[in-house]
Structures are given as C-alpha cells and as structure tokens.
C-alpha cells in the first residue's frame, strides 16, 4: 500500500549550513509518527518542508502518491494536511467558535463576491462550517466555550482549541509541532488523551516533541534526527535502546 506521506532524500541549507540532510521516511495511513532529537537537529525544518512553509534544496515530498514539494501551504492544506505550529496564536477578540471556523478556509468554495451579497450557496456553506466548528470544539472538549473569548482559555485548552481549528479543515494528516510545550502535567495528560483518541479514529498524525515519555505513549514509529540527519527509526522501544540515540539525545538511563 502506498504510504500517505513519503519524504525522500530531503535536504535544506541556510547560508551554506545544512539544517536537514538527505532525510527519508514514510508515514502510513492511520499511523502516529514522532520526530525527536536535540535542539538544532532539523525537526522544525522537516515540518516546514512538509507543510510547505519552506522548499527543499533537493529531495521530494509526496502525499497520497502525488509530489507536493513545490505546492504552496494553502494547496497542501486543501489536499488534507493541517498543521498546529508551536507557539501558534489565537485570534484575539474572537470567540472560540470563530477561531475554529477560520480553520475551514482551506476547503471553502465560494469567494468574497458571494459572501458580500450573501448568496444562498454562501449561506449554506457558512452554516456547514459553523456546524463543523461546533463539532470540532465538542471533539476536543470545548463545546461549552464556543461563545466565550478564545484568549480567556487556559494554555492547555488553547492548545486543544488550535487542534480543533486544524480538525475543522477535515485533514487526513495532522502535523503537531511540539504540542506539549509549556503545558503542565495535567494538561499534558489531557493532550495525550486527545491525540490518542484522534489516532484511534484513524487520523494520521505526525508530531515533533521533546517529551520522550509522551512520544513513547503516543507514537507507533519514531524518527530521530541529529545535526540534520536521521540517525535512527523504529518503534519507541527500539529507539530507547538504540546506542546512537542514547549517545546523541537520550543519555544513559533511558533503556
């Protein structure tokens, strides 16, 4: 079966220094794939190359068998790739519901003219987006916050709201860039439960994360980067026992 996402020989340099060097991996449908590594390993560069916010110097990114490494982020989003970036901000002055509705822009069909004159097609589409946004809020446990200011949410629930915004685009691949960053222990547990449940429903997930315990809990497969290169790949158990990974990232005592 063709993997949903394929990265082949991907490389990107900045000022002559390689941030990512000949990285290859494949993510099958329904899999949760984690990418770990020390700071500066190339994890965020890899995510930006997959989402379309950077273009590779060489190599390919294929999605559903189609080459996408020259497509814009918007076109990739319309194909089903949704991204929650580390430090992504909410839209201040908007409700939680309005924030989530923004996530549906990638799949809207009707433009400014139909919106301005409130054509029936636009009204139907807007009603569907509103219903989808409410469903996404309910999915992450925030239905009761729908009409409250988004910025009033605690940090952990703001992260869940960002996930809901991504889900409103009806993705087939969800990219999470350090989703547990800055969260307290209880918030991390709640986020882990949410990601687990999304994976159990068949959503393909790829995440960058520093929390090894969280990765061990969530991931089916793990890729480890160091100095821009992939130094190991396998199950969480295999990764925790890999001598190269222990030396470069985990340190002794993680086996």
In order, the DSSP letters of 219-252 are -SEEEEEETTEEEEEE-HHHHHH-HHHIIIII-T
Give 1-80+173-186+200-255's CATH code, choosing from 3.90.76.10, 3.40.1800.10, 3.40.50.300, 3.60.21.10.
3.40.50.300
Q: Do 49 and 69 meet the contact criterion of CB atoms below 8 Å apart?
A: yes
What is the structure's pLDDT at 255?
A: 52
Burial classification of residue 16, based on how many CB atoms lie within 10 Å of its CB (0-12 exposed, 13-18 middle, 19 or more buried): exposed
* DSSP letters for 196-214: HHHHHTT-EEEEE-S-HHH
* DSSP letters for 31-100: -EEEEE-STTSSHHHHHHHHHTSS--SEEEEEETTEE-TTS-HHHHHHHTEEEE-TTPPP-TTSBHHHHH
Confidence of residue 106 (pLDDT cuts 50, 70, 90): low
Burial classification of residue 152, based on how many CB atoms lie within 10 Å of its CB (0-12 exposed, 13-18 middle, 19 or more buried): exposed
What is the structure's pLDDT at 111?
A: 46
Helix (H) or strand (E) holding 130: helix 120-139
Residue 110 pLDDT more than 50? no
Residue 112 pLDDT more than 80? no
What is the structure's pLDDT at 87?
A: 72
Residue 114 pLDDT more than 90? no
The residue extents of the domains of the chain are 1-80+173-186+200-255, 95-170
| DSSP helix/strand/coil, 176 | strand
Q: How much is the mean pLDDT over the chain?
A: 90
* DSSP letters for 96-116: HHHHHHHGGGGG----HHHHH
- Among 21, 56, 32, CA closest to 208: 32
- Among 128, 161, 156, 159, CA closest to 144: 161
State pLDDT tens for residues 24-55.
999 999 999 999 999 899 999 999 999 999 99
What is the structure's pLDDT at 104?
A: 85
State pLDDT tens for residues 134-170.
999 999 999 999 999 999 999 899 999 999 999 999 9
State pLDDT tens for residues 208-224.
998 888 999 999 999 99
- Among 230, 228, 233, 207, CA closest to 219: 207
Residue 251 pLDDT more than 80? no
What is the C-alpha separation between 202 and 134, in angstroms, rounded?
21
What is the structure's pLDDT at 85?
A: 86
What is the structure's pLDDT at 118?
A: 56
Least confident of 17-31, 127-141, 183-197, 236-250: 236-250
**How many Cβ atoms are within 10 Å of 89's Cβ, its own excluded?**
11
């Amino acid at each position: 079966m063709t993997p949903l996402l394929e990265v082949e020989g991907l490389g990107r340099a900045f000022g002559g220094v390689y941030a990512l060097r000949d990285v290859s991996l494949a993510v099958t449908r329904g899999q949760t794939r984690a990418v770990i590594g020390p700071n500066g390993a190339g994890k965020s560069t890899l995510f930006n190359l997959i989402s379309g916010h950077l273009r590779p110097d060489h190599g390919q990114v294929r999605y559903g068998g189609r080459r996408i490494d020259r497509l814009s982020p918007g076109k990739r989003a319309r194909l089903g790739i949704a991204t929650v970036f580390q430090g992504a901000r909410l839209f201040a002055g908007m409700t939680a519901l309005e924030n989530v509705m923004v996530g549906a822009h990638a799949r809207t069909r009707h433009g400014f003219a139909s919106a301005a004159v409130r054509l029936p097609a636009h009204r139907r589409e807007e009603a569907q987006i509103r219903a989808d946004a409410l469903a996404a809020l309910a999915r992450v446990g925030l239905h009761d916050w729908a009409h409250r200011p988004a910025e009033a949410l605690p940090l952990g629930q703001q992260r869940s709201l960002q996930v809901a915004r991504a889900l409103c685009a009806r993705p087939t691949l969800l990219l999470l860039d350090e989703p547990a960053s800055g969260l307290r222990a209880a918030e991390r547990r709640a986020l882990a439960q949410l990601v687990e449940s999304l994976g159990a429903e068949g959503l393909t997930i790829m995440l960058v994360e520093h929390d090894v315990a969280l990765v061990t809990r969530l991931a089916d497969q793990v890729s480890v980067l160091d100095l821009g290169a992939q130094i190991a790949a396998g199950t969480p158990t295999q990764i925790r026992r890999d001598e190269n990974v222990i030396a470069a990232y985990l340190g002794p005592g993680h086996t």
